[in-house]
Structure 1
Amino acid sequence: MEKSILRDFSKYVSLNILGMIGVSFYILADTFFIAKALGANGIAALNFAIPVFSLVHGIGLMIGIGGATRFSILKSQNKKEEAEWIFSGALKLGSLIGLMLIVLGLFGSRALSSVLGADAVILPLTRTFMTTILTFAPFFILNNTVLTFVRNDNNPKLAMTAMVTGSFANVIMDYIFLFPFKMGMFGAAFATSLAPIISLGILSLHFAGKKSRPAFLKHKMTRPAVMDILNLGSSTFIMEVSSAVVMTTFNLLILGLEGNKGIAAYGIVANIAFVAIAIFNGLGQGVQPLVSKYYGLKKCSMVKRVKKYALLTAILIAILIYAGTFTYSATLISLFNNENDSAIAQLADNGMKIYFLGFFFVGINIVTAMFLSATEKARAAFMISILRGLAIIVPMAIVLSNIWGMTGIWSAFVLTELIVAGFSIYLAAVTEKGTIAYGKRD
């Protein structure tokens, strides 16, 4: 049994991490090509717009993770009809929210860009990127939703293929739109927006052989199903949206300390960190189907084994990430510092070596929150996400930036993740008793 669990763990986690690394190229490709085509102002504009991208991404993950968690539990209990109802509700909810975001993009992007901190020089670029992303919001949301359901429906390989294909298509289109076609910031945003459409096309293969009508057509969206999805996916949403709040807070603080060059330096650090976060999210989302399945079957010992493997993997990943970024920080920064600005390079180098220490604790927090959510401990998972994203890091950044300047801002991320890791370990130990009680049949 141990070998079987380890085999399934390796399969789901490796495929999902690969897929999430591919997805992270959405932002990295934009950053790299925008740096080459538009310079420091382009990077700063992208950094102001990323919070909106995080919001859209977070909504898709909330609906996907929340719905797929219930879907997996119901499916493991042979309640296929109820599981299909959840899938239907998730698709319709994602479509409805996506349409609302289109309206926001068309009529509110200018005001939103100003609120997020873009000045007169940066605002036109920020607004262009933001409007384009919000106009394609339904595709981003549905892609994240369908990806998660396909993964939970025993097809992690297709989910990985869709993620990677969409991301590589984005890289190719980024180059074509920005350089041969010279489409500027719109070209970068348009390339990013076409990627989820390509991914959805590949994911549709999962349903091609099914004879029955798609769940989207068969079932109505019910309030209980929607509330269940939002409840189970709330911690994932908070985790994603809080990153947008943190980025906005950091942007405003850094703008006051170092101006647009500081924003550009933070943009470089944040975008490289985006890849690291994607890897840990891949780990968390990779174990979710297994945890929910074993939890639904009341196999408590198997749930605990998966959790142990996940935490050990998180520690190993953190070591590799920090060693790589510490050793090659100058090379990584030079990829995005197209103007070879020494001030930006120095700020980014100092920031990366401090900021990335936080990843020794990020994995623990993400895995624990996902584990709690996958075992119906939504409130506990929500608490971890709130502490990570809002309750601690925002006031910490404000206080430490006033004391230590930029060093204080970088350190706020590290100290926050450390504090939350201690709380996560305690919370997981307390709530594990409920999981053991639930799994008496094991």
Structure 2
Amino acid sequence: MEDKKIFILKDESVSKAILKLSIPMVMGMMVQVLYNLVDTYFIGMLNDSNQLAAANIALPVFMMLMAIAGIVGSGAASYISRCLGNKDYEEANKTISIATGILIIISMLVMIGGGLMSPNLAKGLGANEATFDDTYSYIVIMFIGSIPVMCSYALGQLLRSEGNIMQSVIGLALGTVVNIVLDPILIFGLNMEIAGAAIATVIGQASTLFYFAYAYFKGKTTLKISLRQFKYDQKIFKEIFIIGVPASFNQMLMGVATVVANNIAVGYGNLTVAGMGVAMKIMTIGTFVFMGFSAGCQPLVGYNYGCGNISRVKEIIKKGIIITSIIGLSLALIFGVFASSLIGLFTSDIEVIDKGATILRALIVSLPFVGGQMISTTSAQSMGKAMVAFILSISRQGILYMPLLILLNKLFSFSGFVYAQPITDIIMIVFSSMLLYKVMPKDSIKEISTTEEFV
């Protein structure tokens, strides 16, 4: 690994190290936000609330593709960071090669299975007679594009695991530019409407994937992918899946929770579904900022934990939570003040704007608390704390949010429906901080095994 990267991971002041690794990553994540916002913006220009609602109904499919890819990406990234901390570069190179092979196989299986199940999935996601055709056309295109969508996401995680933030950002930026250029051409120029938005997204992700492949095979990375090393290795497979599966549970459950929320929202009308969809897309600005900071902290935590420098690990986590909490509070104030104007950027329907602004003002209560949760979960993954990562992954959207969503909607109708998420996140920040503190080693130690299963 390059000396400069080692210095940032090992010796740079913690605040500077977090910012140096996180800010480029946040910029890259903001590029990802544009994927969502640009599609929503151009679909909104069709002045068809049903298509706007369909885009939100289909969102869980995209989230599930990311979650499945994240099993490999998160698990391998965690192990790679710890291997690099232990100076085991041979094992790190084997891991990235095996992870790539697994990823290709899984994405092909998802493409075939998802394509065959698309009609039934559209119904199960909450599409009704008015939104079914648009929902179906969007999700079937997403499944056809499973390979570029999933592989680009996971390879971005693997790049970041070695501290190679810049190549990750360049790839993400390239894909977003391609998506922005193609959206109006396909949606309006070729009159493909919502299907055009889906195709533009897939082609954008393919552009990102091609750049990542170029970076790996043209020597722009520390680690090298060699498919000749793709073979069964019990230890590496175990490391990938023992961390990757719990790490991706949160995203999987987010997809399931979105399906549940959409099915409840349908009871309040398609305009509510459309308004909620726009509000949730705006909320991704905060979510992706926090993802950027947690991704920036990931190699820092993994490397220093691998080195046994526990005091530095603690400082990274503490300062990461403080930084994201301050950012979350600032975004909450901005979104609250300009809620109606922000929703109005994506639709001219007065009722959709009104519903969306109401939902957005409820959801922003979560923003000061989400970043800390992400830092805690990512830190558990980076340290190889599989059970902690699993508990945190299933708690937010599974154990807490969905039961609260159903209960509060039944008790308080629409108000209970929109405030279920903020209540969940307030509980989660307390729980995640306490759990991480409990399992954190008290003192620095000389050597930590790369495998610490279910502790």
- Same fold, TM-score > 0.5, yes or no: yes
Which residue does 2:390 correspond to in 1? 382
**Which residue does the alignment assign to 1:407?**
415
Contact 1:351–1:407 (8 Å) recurs in 2: no
- Tell me whether 1:137 sits opposite 2:146 in the alignment: yes
Per-residue deviation, residues 367-421 of structure 1 (Å, max 9, x unmatched): 1111111111121121112110111111101111112222111110011111111
Which residue of 64, 70, 89 maps to 1:61?
70
Alignment pair present for 1:219 and 2:240 = no
Cα deviation 1:202-225 (Å, max 9, x = unaligned): 222243038998422333143442
Q: 1:273 aligns with which of 257, 267, 283?
A: 283
Q: Does 1:346 align with 2:334?
A: no
Using the TM superposition, give the Cα deviation of residue 295 of structure 1 relative to its aligned residue in structure 2, in angstroms.
0.8
CA distance in 1, matches of 2:446, 2:37: 46
Provide the TM-score with structure 2 as the length reference.
0.92
Give, in whole Å, the separation in 1 of the partners of 2:131 and 2:233: 43
Structure 1 position 11 matched with structure 2 position 17: no
Could you tell me whether the CA contact under 8 Å between 2:41 and 2:346 is conserved in 1?
yes
**CA shift digits 1:220-241 (9 cap, x unpaired):** 1434422321221234311211
1:357 and 2:365 are equivalent in the alignment: yes
SS for the counterpart of 2:352 is: helix
Verify the 8 A CA contact 1:295 1:375 in the aligned structure 2: yes
CA drift of 1:201 comes to: 2.2
CA positional deviation for 1:271? 1.1
TM alignment of 1:251-330, pairs within 5 A? 251-256=262-267, 258-330=268-340
| 3-state SS, counterpart of residue 154 of structure 1 | coil
In the alignment, the residues of structure 2 paired with residue 83 and residue 214 of structure 1 have an alpha-carbon distance, to the nearest angstrom, of 10
- Taking the aligned partners of 1:159 and 1:242, their CA distance within structure 2 comes to 26
Deviations 1:295-348 (A, max 9, x none): 1111112111211221111111111210110121111110122xx333222211
Distance 2:242 2:443 in 1: 22
Percent identity over the alignment is 24
Q: What is the deviation of 1:441?
A: 6.4
- Higher helix proportion (structure 1 or 2): 1
Task: Say whether residues 1:238 and 2:249 are aligned partners.
Answer: yes
Q: 1:336 to 1:210 in 2, by over 3 A?
A: closer
Superposed displacement of residue 38, structure 1? 5.4
Contact 2:57 2:127 in 1 (8 A): yes
Cα–Cα, structure 1 residues 175 and 47, in superposed 2: closer, same or farther, change >3 Å?
Answer: same
- Contact map agreement 1:235 1:369 (CA 8 A) in 2: no
- Structure 1 vs Structure 2 CA RMSD: 1.9
Q: 1:2 Cα deviation (Å)?
A: 7.0
The 5 A counterparts of 1:43-62 are 43-62=52-71
| Match in the other structure for 1:29 | 38
Contact 1:242/1:389 (8 A) holds in 2: yes
Describe the SS at the equivalent of 1:41: helix
Name which of 398, 401, 414 aligns with 1:393: 401
TM-score by length of 1: 0.94
**Residue 90 of structure 1 contacts residue 145 of structure 1 at CA under 8 Å; is this kept in 2?**
no
- Deviation of 1:137 after TM superposition, in Å, equals 0.9
Distance in structure 1 (CA, Å) of the matches to 2:13 and 2:323:
17
Unaligned runs of 5+ in 1: none
Residue 3 of structure 1 and its aligned partner are, at CA, apart by 4.8
One of 420, 424, 442 as aligned partner of 1:416 = 424
> Does structure 2 retain, via aligned residues, the 8 Å contact 1:88–1:221?
no
Contact 1:93 1:226 in 2 (8 A): no
CA distance in 2, matches of 1:153, 1:384: 25
C-alpha spacing 1:158/1:210, structure 2 compared with 1 (3 Å): closer
1: distance between equivalents of 2:308 and 2:388? 20
Question: Contact conserved, 2:76 with 2:95, CA < 8 A, in 1?
Answer: yes
Match of 1:119 among 128, 131, 156: 128
Are residues 380 and 214 of structure 1, via their aligned partners in 2, closer, same or farther at CA, if it must alter by over 3 Å? closer
Matched, 1:426 2:430: no
Question: Which of 97, 106, 112 does residue 88 from structure 1 map onto?
Answer: 97
Q: Which residue is 2:344 aligned to? A: 334
Q: Secondary structure at the match of 1:37?
A: coil
Residue number in structure 2 paired with 1:228: 239
